[in-house]
Amino acid sequence: MELVYSGKVRDLYADGDNLILVASDRVSVYDVVLPTPIPDKGRVLTQLSLWWFGQLTDVVANHVISGTDVPAQWAGRAIRCRRLRMVPVECIARGYLAGLGLVSYNETGTISGVRLPPGLGEGSRLPEPVFTPTTKAAAGHDEPMTFAELTSLTGAEVAAELERVTLEVYRRGAELAGSRGVVIADTKLEFGLDPDGSLVLADEVLTPDSSRFWLASEWQPGRPQRSLDKQFLRDWSSGLEWDRKPPGPAIPPEIVAATRERYLELYARLTGSELG
Ligand code: Q0Z
């Protein structure tokens, strides 16, 4: 199969007209891929994405053709999908203040042009989820985009639909996760267009690599929140003399095991079933 694109932790292959999206067991901390894999991480993220796509079929069509008709070597961690014309925008919904949303709020009191109440801090819940699209920069960091810029890129109709569907996916995901003790602080979605021009949810959805997941019982606004999936890795690596530049350090077995358990537990908590 032809490798179309290799990302930090995932790879994309072409199989005729289809694409095969393969999640690896690679993990990144502070944007650096570590040399040690986390067993089952690729399977957890793939199966979680497939589960969410299924939960969201009444909200938006998706790119999935099959989670099982994939080459045996990638069984469980690959998705066969339709190749779409991708919308070159990261569609982000934020329900809590963290990351670049927090930076923007601290500088201007707004995110993506939406004025927020004063007095919010790191980890605060927003009065309403906010749509914060960003450009997909080929290199370096993604840039925030105004709604007007989005409109000039996609047309008004698609832009409005991207906002509506992104916020609806976030609301539905956050509500379901919330009922199971997990806060989804924000999420990044990618969409494509069908040959007939209709919007299709693509890539991965509501995984810990595309979203910030916090344990609801640990959530405490006003301080950085503990990441549900990567906190062991961050706590361990912050005790090292490592400048957070590549190459990253090898992960010791007990940290690998604890991180793996976190991913499996997250899957079980959200979906209500153990990953086989
Ligand atoms: C997704 C990505 C990577 C996985 C292109 N259905 C689709 N049609 C056309 N293009 C894409 C998709 Cl999902 C597409 N990406 C991001 C990179 C592994 C996904 F290395 N790029």
**Residue pLDDT, tens place only, 168-199:** 999 999 999 999 999 999 999 999 999 999 99
Residue 188: φ, ψ to 5°: -115, 125
Give 181 Cα–ligand 1 centroid separation in angstroms.
Answer: 30
The CA distance from 249 to 254, in Å, is 14
Query: Which of 6, 203, 205, 209 has the most ligand 1 atoms within 8 A of CB, as the residue to mutate?
Result: 203
- pTM tops 0.85, yes or no: yes
CA R_g for the chain: 18
Give 174 Cα–ligand 1 centroid separation in angstroms.
Answer: 24
Strand partners, 188: 92
What is 8-54 written as a DSSP string?
A: SSEEEEEETTEEEEEE-S--EETTEE-SS--TTHHHHHHHHHHHHHH
Is beta strand 61-62 parallel, antiparallel or unpaired with respect to 199-202?
parallel
Residue 114: φ, ψ to 5°: -95, 120
The CA distance from 157 to 29, in Å, is 37
* 104-158: pLDDT as tens digits: 999 999 999 899 999 999 999 999 999 999 998 766 678 899 899 999 999 999 9
